[in-house]
Amino acid sequence: MMSVKVIIFDFDGTLADTFDAVVRISNRLASEFGYKQAVPDDLAKIRNLGSREIIKQSGISLFKIPFLLKRLKADLHNEILYLNPIFGIEEALAKLNYEGNQLGILTSNSEENVRIFLKKHEMEDLFSFIFSETKLFSKHKVLRKFLQKNHLTPEEVIYVGDETRDIEAAKKINMKAIAVSWGFNSKEALAAQNPEFLIHQPNELIDVIGMLHSAYASDYLGGETALRKADEG
């Protein structure tokens, strides 16, 4: 077992409480892009669906998806200063950073929006890097490139996200995933993806990462003890 060296976070729903803003903007753009507005009764159902199923049920043309995402990010830019971090996430991130973990962000949002948000909430110094991915289902490609560029193995990086597609991305490259139930997808939808960890409060991040470090230390020390015994024999 290798120790986790880098923790990569999704942004929307995982770090930033953007759900209501995204729903509001999506409804505003519905007639322009040819899909139905989401009414309150729809939201619980939507949370139980994966991204592909949401797109399929909406009836929106796949050709329009990139243009819709671009508009969503542009309109979200106008609201980003008024949005808040997930309750308790700032303290958890500060603790993880203090303990020597390298933190980064991989998001479908724009890098500019993320940086504005982090600066507003004095969180920019907690993160070593921010990656913005423009395609909905290409996060695994960015994660793979990150591993290759930094000479890391999947065991040394863990991805934290609130959507089923986040878990899917990690699994495609054999990376561990922490699913968080406080964001977009429901805990049931996330559990169906079989993430290595499913947590419900930000402070649980500290426990999970600490457990992984402890497991590595235990394995390492166990190996050292076995070597010493072999030498003594």
Residues annotated as catalytic (active site), given as ranges = 10
- CA angle in degrees (0–180, nearest 5) for 128-220-91: 35
What lies within 8 Å, CB to CB, of 29 at 6+ separation is 68, 71, 72, 75
What helix, strand, coil percent values describe the chain, rounded to 5?
A: 55, 15, 30
Amino acid at 34: G
Look up residue 82 and give its two tokens: 């008024």
Q: Give dist(CA 17, CA 14) in Å, integer.
A: 7
Q: Which residue has tokens 């797109």?
A: 55
For the record, the structure tokens of 51 come out as 């991204």
